[in-house]
Amino acid sequence: MNYQQILDEIYKEAKVFKGQGELASYIPELARVDPLKYGIHLATIEGAEFAVGDSQEPFSIQSISKVLSLALVLPLIGEMLWERVGVEPSGNPFNSIVQLEYENGIPRNPFLNAGALVMADILISRFDDPKREFLQFVRRLAGNETIQYDEEVAASEKATGYVNASLINMMKSYGNINNEIDSVLDFYYHQCSIAMSCQDLARAFLVFADEGCIYGEDTRILKKAQVKRINALMQTCGFYDEAGEFSFRVGLPGKSGVGGGIVAVHPKCYSVAVWSPKLNKKGNSVLGMKTLELLTTKSGTSIF
Amino acid sequence: MNYQQILDEIYKEAKVFKGQGELASYIPELARVDPLKYGIHLATIEGAEFAVGDSQEPFSIQSISKVLSLALVLPLIGEMLWERVGVEPSGNPFNSIVQLEYENGIPRNPFLNAGALVMADILISRFDDPKREFLQFVRRLAGNETIQYDEEVAASEKATGYVNASLINMMKSYGNINNEIDSVLDFYYHQCSIAMSCQDLARAFLVFADEGCIYGEDTRILKKAQVKRINALMQTCGFYDEAGEFSFRVGLPGKSGVGGGIVAVHPKCYSVAVWSPKLNKKGNSVLGMKTLELLTTKSGTSIF
Amino acid sequence: MNYQQILDEIYKEAKVFKGQGELASYIPELARVDPLKYGIHLATIEGAEFAVGDSQEPFSIQSISKVLSLALVLPLIGEMLWERVGVEPSGNPFNSIVQLEYENGIPRNPFLNAGALVMADILISRFDDPKREFLQFVRRLAGNETIQYDEEVAASEKATGYVNASLINMMKSYGNINNEIDSVLDFYYHQCSIAMSCQDLARAFLVFADEGCIYGEDTRILKKAQVKRINALMQTCGFYDEAGEFSFRVGLPGKSGVGGGIVAVHPKCYSVAVWSPKLNKKGNSVLGMKTLELLTTKSGTSIF
Amino acid sequence: MNYQQILDEIYKEAKVFKGQGELASYIPELARVDPLKYGIHLATIEGAEFAVGDSQEPFSIQSISKVLSLALVLPLIGEMLWERVGVEPSGNPFNSIVQLEYENGIPRNPFLNAGALVMADILISRFDDPKREFLQFVRRLAGNETIQYDEEVAASEKATGYVNASLINMMKSYGNINNEIDSVLDFYYHQCSIAMSCQDLARAFLVFADEGCIYGEDTRILKKAQVKRINALMQTCGFYDEAGEFSFRVGLPGKSGVGGGIVAVHPKCYSVAVWSPKLNKKGNSVLGMKTLELLTTKSGTSIF
């Protein structure tokens, strides 16, 4: 498979979609990003890497961070996690707080904001300096010591995060948050603010393609069953209420963020990250989805 | 891969789960099935077949029929189908009628009862004798001319089908049902009542494993993109509110029915059907799920 | 109090509202009514009567019939009724089927369609010829032997009554409907189709103003506690999701129908019926509400 | 009417209900109240007063304060209030946050917590020292300069008020809260913590019985239409999800609080306050409801 040739083709063909979609507007800092940025990076488990466009420029990974958080939490507490967070798709974004009420403060899955807040609560309970631990973990996964939180993005999100505050208070009323609300939110906004490039993300997500082994190391940090669980969750819950559409068009487990990034994993084969900031109405990168659709079509690597 | 050996092993190991779960009780006819029945049939796209246990005994396929119905409808009307039915997971069974109200009578996906009723409505509009057409289609997919509707099961389900009647009336009030309610329900209950064996089902579902090609024929009846769509829908919506759990444990697109059957597909490789009538609380066969979990683990064929 | 003078004043003043609102369109027969019809009839418990406009012309009473049905059912089965229907406001029209699901098929109150269907079911269980019994009861309350069902309206409503069919099937699935669905719906549509004039309605509703005593008779058919219950239900649940607004503007217990009628009761004093077919967005007669607001303001008879 | 004799009779008869119900437990401070306290105070618009039991002992008025807050807000901003808060019953307690989501952050009525929080936000915008203004207003209504906030109750409620924090954050996300969330919550918890006796409450609520005139003054602070609105709201929304039941049993507009107090108003006649701390499952005082039921029955003063 000549992945570089495929990426080059896609880069040309997909350009026509550059104008479509809108920048995320609810976080002021994100609205200032250059909307024409576009990069792709693909890393195989054999160690080959392929890239095109703005693939080395860091951007705000936002919800993509939830997968990394899950990869840190799951080995820590194991299956007990599922007593506090579910593993099923949620159906509808508007349902989030409704479901929290009906289901006694247990979020449907770890990729909903509510679910990620529970994972943040767990990390705070476990670590003396959870922000430092999380950053170190991400740096190690990506093999890049320069990865940083973006304090401006974190502050910007915190200042307008009323829905998240509503969710976490509801969960706290059901006893599913153990730490101070402000400290959990602070951690969560930092986690989401991490700036990574497509190269960083593709390398970091190799851990899910390569059965738990870290990029550039010989170490396995996740059991096979844990990798399977995380990939299955990305497949069914990774794209807000577009999980079904993404499954069809791309046919790989993946996760998107409102910063315009999408990462996808072809188990036992490769991981790929794409970045283009303009989003469709469901909050997923227009060009990013198109890129991955072309990639699996051209390479015949959809799992379906 | 020695599939026969794997099936034999599973058959022995999985027996300990035979006692778990309950027979479907809401359809009186289904409650009379022998709860200890257990069969598996696996068919590869190369034409090899492997079986164990009660694999040739017909049972009520129930919701599994929705995938067959989708395979008949999709080539008929193409992408226009998605104007009347969605492609996303629904989150929660109790949401079905709630969502119908909020979303103006458009069911979330074709594997919800509401979605299958819309497909039934389409078939009634298209065919003079939709029951005959559907049966012929199923017989052709499975290569078995003896497949029949079970009139007693259909009558039994009709007599107690108040929730389905509620759903279809709600959709009719939104204009998403064109034909007489009674005729749509009659067709739907017949569709669900079809009796097929594991052998029949595995052969019929080869069409989804083999990129649209029918078992025992050289004919392709579905485009690749249509197969991809159907497999993606099975992956995200095939197991009521256990889609996430099934994705993790089995790692294949599949569909279950309250008759105790489950069919799964390994794209470009094989299809497999398993039958054991006792269900867990979410309506999926206990032993059936365990069987498929063991199969993909032992054969290393989970897609994750 | 010179009620005739007040009615005459209102009739002149309120004319400016005649153009506002829309005819009920969902029942074809109702859309054919002359939109400029306007009548008022007020009857005191002392036997005085006052009228103006089209007060003797029969119209379709629709949901107003639910109060009459309740007055027939309540003495029959007493407090046991509240095991099958609640006594609280429902909040929101869209909630009706949602609440039925969450609350196991028990409608919130008898003036929701679902609640009225349960009462219809009870009458069918109790009477050999419930339609005849109900009509006789209404004729007796109003002192008018010529009152009739309007078969065209009943047929018209039946033909398009998908939401009601959805509701009753949902309740049947929870065991809260004992009779055949078709027979309950048939009774219900007849009940709603009854044609009565403002004069008929004002006289019939004297039973609620006069502590259970029937117009023109010495008979008491309801206990005081039953009258209190019915009036309290009209106060809190009589106006779909405008109960609060009506309470404020009119300040009397009452009930409206989509035929454009509204009846209100001043306990121990008078009953009053008004008819004007054009409805506001919440399904209540625009001119009818204005008329009653003016009546209680001019006469100082708001209970608040 | 010999009200004193009636109160004495009730006091004896109602004692048998003293054991029923439970103390409010969710606010630790409230759980420490003597559960056997029981007092009644009735004040007529002519100036007569009648009392029995612990009628002069202050208790936490909690949600009863929402009516006083409404009486302060309504003259300040008039009908514009209804752009930010509705006037209809909410149906169901669990609906509160659901409705906030569906209805864009507009609470159903001012007596829901969400509605009271919006009124608190308005008072904060209007006054330099809203806590002082509100306390002065309440003291003036009751004619008692010694009325105080209970700082321990306020602090206790604040420390566990996660549901309120969830509600206000949700409203803030829709732009329906203008001030800092912490300052609005602080005001709200103080408002609810006010300690008043039955005598204080009966006197304060005379303003709603006496068409806007304050107890012991010649001043009218509310227009008749505003009094009508407040009474209508108490009638339809004053008792959480027992508004219908209270309407039937008591037949007067009223408001309850989880401190065990209930106030009711007979327009143009009297106001009455009762206190007994044990609550039924819907959060209303068991003995309080029984007391008012006996009062309106014995005195024939139900409005129905």
Q: Do C166 and B163 touch (CB under 8 A)?
A: no
Q: Do A267 and B235 touch (CB under 8 A)?
A: no
Between A102, A166, A173, which is nearest D170 by CB? Answer: A166
Determine the residue of chain D that is closest to C236 in CA distance. D236
Between A90, A233, A235, which is nearest B235 by CB? Answer: A235
Between A89, A92, A229, which is nearest B248 by CB? Answer: A229
Burial of C219 (0-12, 13-18, 19+ CB in 10 A): exposed
Nearest-Cα distance to chain D for C109, in Å, is: 9
This prediction has a pTM of: 0.92
Q: How far apart are CA B265 and CA B235, in angstroms?
A: 10
Among candidate residues D56, D54, D43, D48, the one with its CA nearest the CA of residue D205: D43
Nearest-Cα distance to chain B for C253, in Å, is: 30
Q: How far apart are CA D260 and CA D51, in angstroms?
A: 17
Q: How far apart are CA C248 and CA D232, in angstroms?
A: 5
Q: What is the DSSP letter of C88?
A: S
When the pLDDT of each residue in chain A is averaged and rounded to a whole number, the result is 93
- Is A63 among the annotated ligand-binding positions? yes
Cβ(B122)–Cβ(B73) under 8 Å? yes
Count CB-CB contacts under 10 A for residue D191: 27
C-alpha radius of gyration, chain A, whole number: 18
Q: Do A97 and D165 touch (CB under 8 A)?
A: no
The answer to whether residue C92 scores a pLDDT higher than 70 is no
CA geometry: angle at A169 spanning A164 and A175, to 5°?
130
Which of A63-77, B142-156, C65-79, D20-34 comes out lowest in average pLDDT? D20-34
The answer to whether residue D93 scores a pLDDT higher than 60 is no
Q: Does D89 touch chain C (CB under 8 A)?
A: yes
Which residue out of B224, B237, B246, B247 would a mutagenesis test of the A interface target, given it has the greatest number of A Cβ atoms within 10 Å?
Answer: B247
Question: D36 falls in which pLDDT band (50, 70, 90)?
Answer: very high
Residue D47 makes CB contacts below 8 A (sequence gap 6+) with none
Condensed to tens digits (0 to 9), the pLDDT of residues D153-205 reads 999 998 889 999 999 999 999 999 999 999 999 999 999 999 999 999 999 99
Q: Do C87 and D248 touch (CB under 8 A)?
A: yes
Mean pLDDT in runs of 10 for chain A (304 residues)? 94 86 82 93 97 97 98 96 93 64 86 96 98 98 98 92 93 96 97 98 98 93 95 92 90 95 97 96 94 95 88
Determine the residue of chain A that is closest to D160 in CA distance. A173
Residues of A in contact with B242 (CB under 8 A): 88
Phi-psi region of A268 (alpha: psi -120 to 50; beta: other; left: phi over 0): left
Residues of C in contact with D231 (CB under 8 A): 304
Mean pLDDT in runs of 10 for chain B (304 residues)? 94 86 82 93 97 97 98 96 93 65 86 96 98 98 98 92 93 96 97 98 98 93 95 92 90 95 97 96 94 95 88
Q: Do A97 and D98 touch (CB under 8 A)?
A: yes
Return the amino acid letter for A186. D
Q: Do B244 and A91 touch (CB under 8 A)?
A: no
Which residue(s) pair with C255 in the sheet? C263
Residues of A in contact with B229 (CB under 8 A): 248
Among candidate residues A75, A69, A72, the one with its CA nearest the CA of residue A110: A69
In this prediction, residues C135-157 reach a mean pLDDT of 96
Length of chain B, in residues: 304
Residues of B in contact with A92 (CB under 8 A): 91, 95, 99
Higher pLDDT, residue C241 or A249: A249
Binding residues of B for substrate: 63, 113, 157, 164, 188, 240, 258
Residue B232 makes CB contacts below 8 A (sequence gap 6+) with A244, A247, A248, A251, A304, B87, B253
Residues of D in contact with C237 (CB under 8 A): 244
ipTM reported for the complex, 2 dp = 0.91
Between B95, B227, B251, which is nearest A91 by CB? Answer: B95
Nearest-Cα distance to chain A for B214, in Å, is: 17
Between D94, D102, D166, which is nearest A166 by CB? Answer: D166
Q: Do A173 and D167 touch (CB under 8 A)?
A: no
Structure tokens at D135: 């306390």
Residues of D in contact with C267 (CB under 8 A): 303-304
H or E segment to which residue C265 belongs? strand C261-266
Q: Contact partners of A by the rule of 3+ C-beta pairs under 8 A? A: B, D
Length of chain C, in residues: 304
Residues of C in contact with B102 (CB under 8 A): 94
Cβ(C81)–Cβ(C100) under 8 Å? no
Question: D99 falls in which pLDDT band (50, 70, 90)?
Answer: confident
Cβ(D253)–Cβ(D265) under 8 Å? yes
- Is A52 among the annotated ligand-binding positions? no
CA torsion, points C142, C147, C149, C150, in degrees to nearest 10?
Answer: -120
Between D91, D109, D241, which is nearest C95 by CB? Answer: D91
Between D99, D109, D247, which is nearest C236 by CB? Answer: D247
- Is D188 among the annotated ligand-binding positions? yes
Between B92, B99, B236, which is nearest A244 by CB? Answer: B236
CA geometry: angle at D78 spanning D73 and D83, to 5°?
95
Q: How far apart are CA B258 and CA B147, in angstroms?
A: 19
Residue ranges of B 135-174 with Cβ closer than 8 A to chain C: 162-163, 165-167, 169-170, 172-173
Which residue out of C25, C95, C113, C162 would a mutagenesis test of the B interface target, given it has the greatest number of B Cβ atoms within 10 Å?
Answer: C162
| Alpha-helical segments (H) within chain D | 3-14, 65-77, 95-102, 113-126, 130-142, 151-159, 162-173, 181-193, 198-209, 224-237, 243-249, 286-299
Hey, CA dihedral for C198, C199, C205, C206, is it positive or negative?
positive
At residue D111, what are phi and psi to the nearest 5 degrees? -100, -5
Q: Does A225 touch chain D (CB under 8 A)?
A: no
Q: Does D92 touch chain C (CB under 8 A)?
A: yes
Q: What is the DSSP letter of D51?
A: E
Q: Does C304 touch chain B (CB under 8 A)?
A: no
Q: Do C304 and D244 touch (CB under 8 A)?
A: no
Q: How far apart are CA B265 and CA B43, in angstroms?
A: 10
All structural domains of chain B, each given as residue ranges with its CATH number in brackets, are 3-299 (3.40.710.10)
Residues of D in contact with C242 (CB under 8 A): 88
Q: Contact partners of D by the rule of 3+ C-beta pairs under 8 A? A: A, C
